[in-house]
A and B are shown apart, each in its own frame.
Chain A
Amino acid sequence: GENVEQHPSTLSVQEGDSAVIKCTYSDSASNYFPWYKQELGKRPQLIIDIRSNVGEKKDQRIAVTLNKTAKHFSLHITETQPEDSAVYFCAASMNRDDKIIFGKGTRLHILP
C-alpha cells in the first residue's frame, strides 16, 4: 500500500522567512496530494492540494510543487506569519474520494 514520508518533523523559522516541508510517496498510482493544517486542539483543515497533471500550484503565500518522476512533493510558505504556526500534514491518494494516506506531520514554529 501507499506510504508517505514527511520531513522535517519540526521546523522553526523567523517570522517573514520561508518554510519548506517535503514529502515522498511510494505508490506511483497516487495522483491527488492534499496538504492539511492543524492548529492546537482543532481539526485538520485543507489548505491546498495538487493533482498529478500539474507540477505546481500557488495560493497567495502558499505553493505546492510535485515531481511525479521522483515521487516527491513539497509545501512552500513564504513571508511566514505567527498564525502559520501549526502542524502540517501532507497526504497522498488515488483520487479525492479514495482513502487518503497521511504523513506523520511537521510542527512549524514561527519565531518572533
Chain B
Amino acid sequence: DAGITQSPRHKVTETGTPVTLRCHQTENHRYMYWYRQDPGHGLRLIHYSYGVKDTDKGEVSDGYSVSRSKTEDFLLTLESATSSQTSVYFCAIIVGNEQFFGPGTRLTVL
C-alpha cells in the first residue's frame, strides 16, 4: 500500500508507561505526518516532519514527541501515556498528488 507501514497495529498499555509508535515509508519522501482520530473530532495533526531532524508541532502536540533520524522512519512517543491518549493514530506521507495515510495504530491506555 504505497510503501507506508505502521507498527504496532494494536497496543494496550497502562497509564504512565512510555509508548513509541513507528511509521515507516519506502517512498523516500521528505514530508511525514502524525494524526490522531477520535469520535467527534475528526483527524487532528500531532506533529509533522519536513526532513531528517526537522519537525514541527501540529494542533494537539502536548504529551507527544517525535523523532526523525532517517528519511524512512518517523517515530511518535508518548513519554507517559494517559487515558486521554487512547485513540487511533495515523501516519501520512505524500504519494503522487495526495496525502496518503498508513493503516493506523489503535492504542488503548488503561
Contacts and interface: CB of A to CB of B under 8 A. Distances in A.
B43 interface: yes
User: Max chain A CB contacts within 10 Å: which of B50, B98, B104?
Assistant: B98
Contacts of A104: 40-42
The 9 residue pairs across chains A and B that have the minimum distance between CB atoms: A46-B98, A104-B42, A43-B101, A102-B43, A105-B42, A102-B42, A97-B31, A44-B101, A99-B45
B59 interface: yes
- Interface size class of chain B, counting residues whose CB lies under 8 Å from the partner chain: 20 to 34
Given A43-B90, A99-B33, A34 B43 contact: no
Contact of A44 (B44, B90, B97): B90
Given A97-B94, A104-B41, A1 B59 contact: yes
Nearest to B91: A43
Contact of B104 (A43, A89, A97): A43
Contacts of A103: 42
Interface of B: 30-31, 33, 35, 40-45, 48, 50, 56, 58-59, 90, 94, 97-104
Contacts of A100: 33, 45, 99
Contacts of A34: 98-99
